[in-house]
Each structure stands twice: as structure tokens, then as C-alpha cells.
Structure 1
């Protein structure tokens, strides 16, 4: 069952800019998992491909107002975050078994317990797992529901890439979100975790029809990656069966949980379908 959980956080001490990278947030997530299941934390750390989770960059609550027009997220911080600043952080889980293994963690988080993001201490104030008017990133659904609720009529697939999104092409990265890059990324994760695999042939009638994207750089302590942010619309063309349209729409709806492209456990590739 895909879950998109939003953790509301409060730093007890300033978070240095250098400790806001995807790698530090990845370490924080594994620390959370390790607190209830050390063996599971080791398994997640060793996963090489189709990882069972994605993470967002840390978001300062007030910065959401700055991005309301574009609805993008903050992926770079040019200064430290002061103690007492309300923040939120999205964690998505793709494996049916993963949420249940972490159930004890989510239900029994102690608000007084300190968690470490680099040198900073954090307090987990609350965990949101259901849709909120003020927090569109919190949600959950079963794979069966994603499939059954997907439209078998909608032919427009509008995506918004909210953090830099990039794709592996041979030995190098490519920031251009082609049909194959976007939908093969979703298809691989869907086939790996859903228990209801789709054929790659369903992607044949998808074509880009609109885009308003730009390149942005995502930097951490070890790498600098160029990705795209913004909006892109794909169109389903031709005389095809409703079930194929439904499968494509299920993949598009899945983007909220799965992310798109590379480095999704490091905060890249956060995407959502926009109606």
C-alpha cells in the first residue's frame, strides 16, 4: 500500500545549512527505522534499485507561501534553519509490508524524544497520513484502489515536477522528461511493488503536448545534479482500449507516491499529477 506521510518537525537547535542535504535526511530516515527494526534499516540501506521509499527535502513551513504560485518545493537552503522553526518532511512508502513494520514507530513517536539531523536535534511533533486541505502531500491508498479508481477515459496527463528531476541515460544524467523516462520510471516501481504488473507496450500511445519546465541544480556535499522543475502534459492518442487508458492513468496517479527519475530517496523527483 503506498503511503505519503508528512512529518511535522521542530528543531530544538539550529540546523546548519550543510546538514540539510538529501544524504543527511536519508540518514535521519534510516535512524527512525533503526529505532524499531535495525534489520529493516540495514535492508533499506542496501537496496540498490527500486527503493521502497522516497523522501522530500526539508520544508520550512512559512516558505510554502513563497511558492504558492508555482507550488514547487524548496530543495536548497542558503542559510541555517533557526531553532523553533516549524518544518515538515514528506516520507513515502511503496512496499505494502513496510508501513506495517513501521506502524509502531508512527503510532508511538514520543514528541519529547530528540532525533538527530546532522548536528541538530529535532522533535517530531506529529505525523499526517490522510489528505489535508493545507497539506496536499499527505495521503494513502492501496494499489488495488489506485487501479480501480483510475479513469478509463482521461487522455490528458498533467504532471508537476516540484523538486529537480533527472534521469539516467547510459552513463550520464538527462534532465529532459521524455515520455519513456517519466513513464518507465513509474512503470518499474509499479511492477515491482503493486502485484499487478503492466506491459511496457501500454506506453506506446503517450505523447507530450505541453511543457513549461526549466532546469535547476541540486547540490549536496558529494554531487551536483541538473534536473527539471515545472509542468508537463502528456496526451494519450489513437484508438485504444479503455483498459489501457486506465492503466496509464493509474501510473500517473502513482507519481505522488513513487516520485519520478533518480535520487528520489534524496529529495529529487517529487512529482504530482495536477488536474
Structure 2
């Protein structure tokens, strides 16, 4: 059952924005999961391939421009879960831990509240089920608009002959292909094959609008000596819209609508477990 929670926390000292993202945020998730359930933490960490979670910092406009988040300034950390077992384990840990806090970049953050529903007023929180996502998906809607809130990029494999490539553009086959892989990995019932979806995107999905801008994706690692190393990738943020043309198959239309709605929980593109590709349908 897909869940998205947003933790509102306050750092006790200034927190460097750049160092609080990437691998560091990824590590925070595992740290909390291991405290909630060592067995589940080891299971998720040891599983190869797609991971059943995503992480992100939801920065304010000021925080995106600043070098540091000030002591006492609210910081939002978002986690999403695609494995049914994850949310109950972490929710129980959060509820049973007095004076909940955690460390990020050697800075202690005090947790003020954890929101898990849009009724709480937090637009990036929510929950549903795969069955409900599919059941509620339209069989007639042919417009698909997305908002990409954190730097997003795709990794296109080159196979044995060519190098892998980073693609910092919301091409329809890459957007929906990313969503399809996550759906088929974690939902009980799979959708169409990737090759069929790629053909549909190539011949029936056109981009009708975009307002995207380039934004570097900064992947931060903490080395064994405690210092930080940063790798950057070209990415994009903003909005774009697609339109389905020349296709009337209601099953395919329903599948594309379900995948578009699923973006809220799965994220889009590469490195979603490290804060990238936070997206939703608009």
C-alpha cells in the first residue's frame, strides 16, 4: 500500500543544505528503519534492484537559495513507501519513541509532527492502495500533466557496446517507463510489458507543454574520514504535459492514468531513494 509521510523537524544548529541530501538522506532512512525493525532494514538494504521507498527534502524557497537551514527553522523530510510492511513498522517506532529526534549531517533535529494524509494540510502526504489507484484511474482522460519538485533525471543503459547516458529531459517513454517499472515491481498485478509501453509512448504520446529548467542534481556522500564528496548530474525541475493521440484502447488509457497518479508515491527517474525525482500529477 503506497504511503507518503512528511516529517516536520527543527535543527538545533545550522544545517548545511548541500550536505543534507543525497546519500546522507538515504542513510537516514535506513537508520530509522533499522531502529524500527533490524530484520526489515537488513532485508530492504540487501535487496538488489528497485527499492520500495523514496526520500526527499522539501525545501522552502529561501532554503533552496541558502547555504544553510537555520537553527530553529522548520525542515520537511519526506519518505514514501511501496512495501506494505514499511509504514506500520516506522509508524509504530515514531509513536512509541518519546522526544523523537534524529541526526542529519551531525546536526540533531527535533521532530515536531509527522503527517501522513492530505487532510492534515500537507500536500505531499497521502496514502492509497494499488487496487484503488487502478480502480479510480480514468478510462477516457488523455491529458497527463506533471510537476517535478526536485531535480529529476533518467539513466539510459547503453548495454555491452555503449556507455550509460544521463538524460535530463521528461521524454514520455522515460517518464512512464520509470513509473511502470516501479508498479510492476511492487504491485500485486503487473501492467503492460515495457516494450509495448515504449511503443505507445513513441507513437501516441506527444508533449503539449513544458516549463522546465535545468537544475543540477547534487549527490553527496560522506567519506570514511567524515568529509563530504559531491557528484553532480544534469537534471530538471518544473512542469510538463503530455497528450495521448490516435489511441482509443480504454485498458491502455486506464493504465497510463493509473501510472500518472502513481508518480506521487513512486517518484520518477533515477536516484529517487536519494531525494531526486519527487513528482506528482497536476
Say if 2:152 and 2:217, in contact at 8 Å, map to a contact too.
Answer: no
Aligned length: 261
What TM-score, normalized to structure 1?
Answer: 0.88
Say if 1:58 and 1:89, in contact at 8 Å, map to a contact too.
Answer: yes
What does 1:159-170 correspond to in 2, within 5 Å?
A: 159-170=146-157
Counterpart for residue 72 of structure 2: 84
Counterpart for residue 224 of structure 1: 232
Q: CA deviation at 1:56?
A: 0.9
The question of 1:172 aligning with 2:165 is answered yes
Compared CA separation, residues 190 and 239, structure 1 to 2 (3 A): same
The question of 1:143 aligning with 2:130 is answered yes
Compared CA separation, residues 238 and 35, structure 1 to 2 (3 A): same
CA-to-aligned-CA distance 1:179-230 (integer Å, 9 cap, x gap): 1110110000000111111113255032222222121112233310111111
CA-to-aligned-CA distance 1:25-63 (integer Å, 9 cap, x gap): 11111111111212222233334421110011253xxx2
Counterpart for residue 3 of structure 2: 3
Say if 2:177 and 2:197, in contact at 8 Å, map to a contact too.
Answer: no
Compared CA separation, residues 208 and 109, structure 1 to 2 (3 A): farther
What does 1:91-130 correspond to in 2, within 5 Å?
A: 91-110=79-98, 112-130=99-117
Say if 1:16 and 1:120, in contact at 8 Å, map to a contact too.
Answer: no
Counterpart for residue 247 of structure 1: 255
Counterpart for residue 153 of structure 1: 140
Q: CA deviation at 1:79?
A: 2.0
Say if 2:94 and 2:100, in contact at 8 Å, map to a contact too.
Answer: no
Counterpart for residue 223 of structure 2: none
The ranges of structure 1 where at least 4 consecutive aligned residues each deviate by more than 4 angstroms after the TM superposition are none
Q: Is the partner of 1:56 in helix, strand or coil?
A: strand
Unpaired runs of at least 5, structure 1: 67-73
Counterpart for residue 14 of structure 2: 14
Query: Partners in 2 of 1:248 and 1:31 — Cα distance?
Result: 35
Counterpart for residue 243 of structure 2: 235
Say if 2:133 and 2:261, in contact at 8 Å, map to a contact too.
Answer: yes
Q: CA deviation at 1:165?
A: 0.6
Q: Which moved more, 1:170-179 or 1:10-19?
A: 10-19
